[in-house]
Structure formats: C-alpha cells, structure tokens
Structure 1
Amino acid sequence: MVQTGTLTRADLAEVLHGDIGLSRAESAMLVEQILGHMCEALASGENVKISGFGSFVLRDKAERIGRNPKTGVEVPIAPRRVLTFRASQAMRERIIEAD
C-alpha cells in the first residue's frame, strides 16, 4: 500500500480488512483496541515498545525559565510529562531506503 499524506485509523482498518479478511467492523474494532491498550499503558506511566517499529517513551521535564520571543519577558514553564517517539533501527533503515 503506497500512501501519500496521513495514515488514519480507517486506513489501518482497511488494510486489515483487505490483507487478513476480517470484516470492516472487526478490523476497525481491532485497530481501536490496539490503540486503546497503547493509550492506557502510556496514561499509567508505562512506555510502549513495538519491535521493529519504535518506542513511545514518557519523559518528565523539570520546571524551567522560558522567554516570550515577542516581548523578551522571562516566564516560568511548569514541569510536565511529555511523550516522545524513537524509531527503531529497522524503521530508520527503511525510511532511509525509501528516499
């Protein structure tokens, strides 16, 4: 499947429907369940690693001082948790080959 633009949940469900033969409803439900499990794990503080694809990692960022670029006024930036994605080596190699 060659795709341009954005890959959506519906696109993933359609691939499952076409390649595996699940009904469209079953395919959509499976995609939702997988994404739901990932969201629950991340919300509970767990990292998510998908072998051959990459890792979704939660990081805690400390409070820091930022600057309003327009006015130059310093403002404190509250501590927060951020989600980062790191592609696996296999994924990086596939992306490089696609260029």
Structure 2
Amino acid sequence: MTKADIVERVSDRCGISKKDSIEMVELVFSILKNTLEIGEDIKISGFGKFEIKNKHARKGRNPQTGDAITIEARRILTFKPSTILKNNINS
C-alpha cells in the first residue's frame, strides 16, 4: 500500500475531497515524523508502538578485509505491534 492508496481510502471512507484527504494524510505523517525526530515514542492504541532506541558505539570488523572498525552510535526506530493487531493478523 502506498501513500496514494491511503489518501484514496481516506477520501472514500470519510466522504471528503482528495485534496482534503491529501492534506490530512500529509499532516498526520508530518506529526508522526516530527515526534519521532525529537525522540518521543508514539503509542497508538490497538495498533502498536513506535519507539526510538539508542545504540551505543561498538567494535566491528570489515567483512571484506577483516580490519577492526568502530561502528558509530546511532538512533534506530523500532515498531512493536499491539496484541490486538497481532491477533487480527494471525486469525
């Protein structure tokens, strides 16, 4: 499913114009993106939780040369689906 498909479904189900549904979908995605960028978690009841985790710097190796390297610290985004979503997918 693409963003265009989401816009189409929002337009159909809410009975609003595609222009309005595009603005609505873009706004929701913008809020989600900005919230995650500042490091806040997002928990949507019945759907799941988006969480930012910090990975510390660690030692690794280049698989081609075998040389030791340092992998820089970084932030990663994880998603944990809710039990309701898991049950709906697996039923």
The count of aligned residue pairs is: 91
1:41 counterpart = 2:35: yes
- Secondary structure in structure 2 of the residue aligned to 1:70: coil
Q: Flag as ranges the 4+ runs of structure 1 deviating above 3 A.
A: none
Q: 1:88 aligns with which of 74, 79, 82?
A: 82
CA–CA separation in structure 2 for the residues paired with 1:96 and 1:66 = 37
- Structure 2 residue identity aligned to 1:93: N
- Secondary structure in structure 2 of the residue aligned to 1:94: helix
Aligned-pair Cα RMSD in Å = 0.9
Give 1:14 deviation, angstroms: 0.4
1:16 counterpart = 2:10: yes
Structure 2 residue runs without a partner (length 5+):
none
1:76 counterpart = 2:57: no
CA–CA separation in structure 2 for the residues paired with 1:93 and 1:40 = 30
Structure 1 residue runs without a partner (length 5+):
1-6
TM-score under structure 2 length normalisation: 0.94
Q: 1:30 aligns with which of 24, 38, 56?
A: 24
- Structure 2 residue identity aligned to 1:48: I
Identical aligned residues as a percent: 38
TM-score under structure 1 length normalisation: 0.87
- Structure 1 residue identity aligned to 2:25: V
